[in-house]
């Protein structure tokens, strides 16, 4: 009974932080592939040359590290009836991984904390702990200089349903610092001068993309929350000139550099729920926008299910992880290649030497 209560409570916290449904726990990393999306290229895996390591959370509370091509996944966090891991992200040097750890207190309440762990799973350390169980943490990420950990703090609000803000803590320990409110899913530019984040519209359950100075000042909208069904996973490119994000549905308003495509039925969300070609969820694709908002580019047309992307160090490739496996996008050619079938609902990152 206690385990059941914890599972329900953790799922509630993740719903609060992400505003999206979470999958049922899975006992294995390997998943049966769904219908293969269009425009995929599946050459022999040994033709790929991908240095570094992947880290991913498949959605069952575990966290794994894997060589992109040759290695078998190795667990660095194993869930228990009272603990659940999610949202891993590498430090800039690849030596550590920050993640969200949920646990059940003696009083039966879920506690949602930011942890840091060595890349081999050792030396686990608490980075940030909420003052009470009503506050949920999600989407932790290191600053490019490795001195800070940024994350989203979400708490319920009687008027707006939720209040969310971006906070940060020093990696050496210390008090949390609030950077900006009404914001979630932050990423920091390579030079540390800017942050990109999402703002969620609780009336339409859609999200917009915003850019601000690193201290939260001078926030401006890059993408209105009414353009797509929803968006997720904003990431600066390695050169800091563009921002990668994933979007569900066609753009229903004109975007600079992209032709205008209207949805065949309204509202768009109900249309996708009724007619999505992929039974596991809404179809998503990868997009970029320049930091001045002057040009949007759709990078894929594969209808991925819940993808989470990560850039290569040189910006020429993007690896992404979804329910059907791991894929590699060659940015110049737009070719998408299947890497393996280790998939899931969760967050993914890639470190390279």
pLDDT of amino acid 276? 39
Q: Which fold has domain 2-24+50-351?
A: Neuraminidase (2.120.10)
326 vs 45, which has greater pLDDT? 326
Q: How many CA atoms lie within 13 A of 250 on its CB side?
A: 15
Reported as a single tens digit per residue, the pLDDT across 129-140 is 998 888 999 999
pLDDT of amino acid 171? 95
pLDDT of amino acid 160? 67
Residue 27 in this model has a pLDDT that exceeds 80: no
pLDDT of amino acid 351? 98
pLDDT of amino acid 282? 79
What is the β-pairing status of strands 63-66 and 83-90?
Answer: unpaired
204 vs 47, which has greater pLDDT? 204
Reported as a single tens digit per residue, the pLDDT across 221-271 is 999 999 999 999 999 999 999 999 999 988 988 999 887 654 444 443 433
Residue 62 in this model has a pLDDT that exceeds 90: yes
Mean pLDDT throughout 334-346? 90
190 vs 133, which has greater pLDDT? 190
Residue 25 in this model has a pLDDT that exceeds 70: no
pLDDT of amino acid 266? 42
pLDDT of amino acid 158? 73
Q: Which of 294, 293, 351, 19 lies closest to 156 in space, CA to CA?
A: 19
Reported as a single tens digit per residue, the pLDDT across 280-317 is 467 999 999 999 999 999 999 999 999 999 999 999 99
Mean pLDDT throughout 26-51? 46
The neighbouring-strand residues paired with 297 are: 288
330 vs 37, which has greater pLDDT? 330
For the chain, the structural domain boundaries read 2-24+50-351
Residue showing tokens 């949805």: 263
The neighbouring-strand residues paired with 108 are: none
pTM of the model: 0.83
Stretch among 4-8, 62-66, 139-143, 333-337 having the lowest mean pLDDT: 4-8
Mean pLDDT throughout 154-171? 87
pLDDT of amino acid 69? 79
Q: Say if residues 297 and 336 touch (Cβ distance below 8 Å).
A: no
Q: Say if residues 87 and 68 touch (Cβ distance below 8 Å).
A: no
Q: Say if residues 98 and 77 touch (Cβ distance below 8 Å).
A: no
93 vs 5, which has greater pLDDT? 93
The neighbouring-strand residues paired with 242 are: 290
- Estimate to the nearest angstrom the gap between the alpha carbon of 218 and the chain centroid: 24
């Amino acid at each position: 009974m206690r385990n059941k209560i914890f599972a329900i409570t953790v799922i509630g916290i993740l719903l609060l932080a992400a505003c999206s449904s979470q999958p049922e726990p899975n006992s294995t990393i390997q998943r049966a592939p769904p219908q293969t999306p269009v425009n995929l290229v599946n050459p022999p895996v040994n033709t790929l040359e991908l240095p570094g390591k992947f880290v991913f959370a498949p959605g069952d509370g575990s966290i794994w590290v894997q060589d992109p091509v040759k290695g078998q996944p190795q667990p660095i966090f194993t869930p228990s009836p009272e603990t659940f891991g999610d949202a891993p992200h590498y430090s800039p040097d690849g030596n550590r991984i920050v993640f969200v750890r949920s646990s059940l207190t003696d009083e039966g309440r879920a506690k949602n904390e930011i942890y840091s762990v060595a890349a081999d799973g050792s030396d686990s350390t608490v980075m940030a702990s909420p003052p009470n169980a009503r506050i949920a943490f999600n989407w932790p990420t290191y600053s490019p200089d490795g001195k800070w950990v940024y994350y989203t703090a979400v708490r319920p609000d009687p008027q707006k349903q939720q209040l969310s803000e971006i906070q940060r803590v020093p990696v050496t320990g210390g008090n949390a610092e609030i950077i900006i409110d009404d914001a979630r899913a932050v990423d920091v530019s390579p030079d540390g001068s800017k942050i990109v984040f999402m703002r969620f519209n609780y009336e339409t359950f859609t999200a917009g993309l915003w850019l601000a100075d690193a201290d939260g000042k001078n926030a401006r909208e890059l993408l209105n929350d009414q353009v797509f069904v929803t968006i997720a996973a904003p990431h600066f490119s390695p050169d800091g000139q563009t921002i990668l994000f994933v979007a569900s549905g066609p753009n229903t308003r004109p975007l600079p550099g992209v032709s205008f495509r209207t949805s065949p039925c309204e509202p768009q969300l109900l249309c996708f729920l009724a007619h999505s070609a992929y039974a596991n969820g809404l179809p998503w694709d990868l997009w970029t926008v320049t930091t001045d908002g002057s040009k949007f580019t759709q990078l894929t047309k594969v209808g991925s299910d819940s993808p989470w992307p990560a850039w290569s160090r040189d910006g020429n490739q993007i690896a992404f992880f979804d329910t059907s496996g791991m894929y590699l996008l060659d940015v110049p050619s737009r070719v998408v290649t299947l890497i393996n079938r280790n998939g899931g609902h969760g967050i993914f990152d890639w470190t390279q030497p």
